[in-house]
Amino acid sequence: MLGCGLLAAVSLPAAPPRWQLESNPSPPTQAQINAAENQVRQHQAALGAEQGKLSAASTMLGRLQTQAEVLTERYDEVQVNEQRAASAYQVTEASLSQARRQEDASQSALAGLAAEEFESGGGFDSLTAMLGDASGPQAYLNQVGLGQVLAQSGTDTLAANQANEAVARVFRAQARELLTAQQADLRAANDLKLAIRAAVARQTAFVASTKDSRNSLARELASAQAHESALQAARQAALAAAAAQAAAAAAAAAAGSQGSTQVPPWAWGSGATATQGDIAANWALTQLGKPYQWGATGPGSYDCSGLTMEAWAQAGVQLLHYTGYQWEEGPHVPLNELQRGDLLFYATNTADPSTIHHVGIYIGNGMMVDAPYTGAFVRIDSMYQPGGLIGAVRPAG
């Protein structure tokens, strides 16, 4: 889409200079043309430099976008790992709760043993001594000679109590360490993701700015090229007009001596001006996309000669609605001297103008606008694409 936009921008010339609109009898000098050519070269150099800058910026943007994809995927991986660690920690908390319940149960069992021992062989004073002992019930039982009994009957309970405490400590430490590490990784990955996205955004803005600058330079180049072309066309038209006047005078002199001879009205001039050709070509470009219809002259559809007739009508030149007649409605021009707006004709036999069957409007750079055939639409084609190019005509002004 960008390339198409540039083509349209370059194809549309700048407004013609005042001398071209005021019928100034003095054509542009060669020095003016040389200056215009120099301006074109300067604009081409500036555009080339900006295009190189844009290419480098676009390459860097591509690299940053690739890095962003890699880091985003890394972030997604770490996020999944953090979710797994959180799930594992929840499972660990559940296991820890179970271990604590078992620890409480084993402590209750131990207290039950002490109570049974008290009930079977002691009294209130002994219970008071056991509970008041600074080293706890176990020390008291040892003092009164009950350690062996307790060891025999409570071995499993004490072992289970110690095991449950160890399990609780391991579960708590490992699960929290894993979760903490994964949360740290997630924060780091998120920071990298945000940083690279910010870099991509900055580079994208730089590329857009560079494109705007490049497009502005392209428009300036198009304007300079149009100005140069207008100067060249005006100088050539002035020289051709002088030659045509000389030829007309000679023809008139010959006609006076040999009797009157019928000549076409355009024979006394050199065809329409470059400005008129630009008007016709630019108007034809506004009709792109409208359907071909046999015998139609617009505004909704056209056949080939109907399109060319209406295009040149915008420039003040009246053509007949028939390719055979339009072939005769202006001087024939060599293909290496084409101007925008010139008519290109196609024939089944390029040696016989009576076989002409198609016409298009030249828009520059080897391209034309035409209404090709039934089922197609007004479009831009290569001037050589249809085949059978017999010649070109510059409609008479």
What domains appear along the chain, each with residue ranges and CATH number?
17-258 (1.10.287), 271-397 (3.90.1720.10)
* Token pair listed for 310: 């209406």
Determine the pLDDT at residue 369: 97
3-state secondary structure of 87: helix
Gyration radius (Cα) of the chain, Å = 48
Contact 263, 251 (CB under 8 A): yes
Question: What pLDDT sits at residue 291?
Answer: 96
So what's the pLDDT on residue 20?
42
108 burial class (0-12, 13-18, 19+ CB within 10 angstroms)? exposed
Cα angle at 246 between 245 and 248, to 5 degrees?
A: 60
Quick one: pLDDT at residue 257?
52
Q: In angstroms, what CA-CA distances link 166 with 102, 103, 237, 355, 360?
A: 12, 10, 105, 105, 94
**Confidence at residue 110, expressed as pLDDT on a 0 to 100 scale:** 65
Residues 6+ away with beta carbon under 8 Å from 105: none
- Which run of H or E residues covers position 259? none
Q: How far apart are CA 350 and CA 354, in angstroms?
A: 9
Euclidean distance between CA atoms 290 and 376, whole angstroms: 9
Q: Rounded distance, CA 172 to CA 161, Å?
A: 17
The per-residue pLDDT string of the chain (397 residues; one tens digit each, 9 = 90 and over) reads: 333 333 333 333 434 443 343 334 567 888 888 898 889 899 989 999 999 999 999 999 988 888 887 887 778 888 888 888 888 778 877 777 777 787 677 677 767 766 665 666 554 455 455 555 555 555 655 555 555 545 555 555 556 666 666 766 776 677 778 888 888 888 888 888 898 889 999 999 999 999 999 999 988 988 888 888 778 777 776 666 666 566 656 655 655 555 444 445 455 456 899 999 999 999 999 999 999 999 999 999 999 999 999 999 999 999 999 999 999 999 999 999 999 999 999 999 999 999 999 999 999 999 999 999 989 999 999 999 888 999 999 998 6
Task: Name the residue type at position 259.
Answer: G
Angle (CA) 277-283-284 rounded to 5° is 90
Q: Residue 341 region, left (φ>0) first, then alpha (ψ -120 to 50), else beta?
A: left
Nearest to 78 by CA among 173, 192, 172: 192
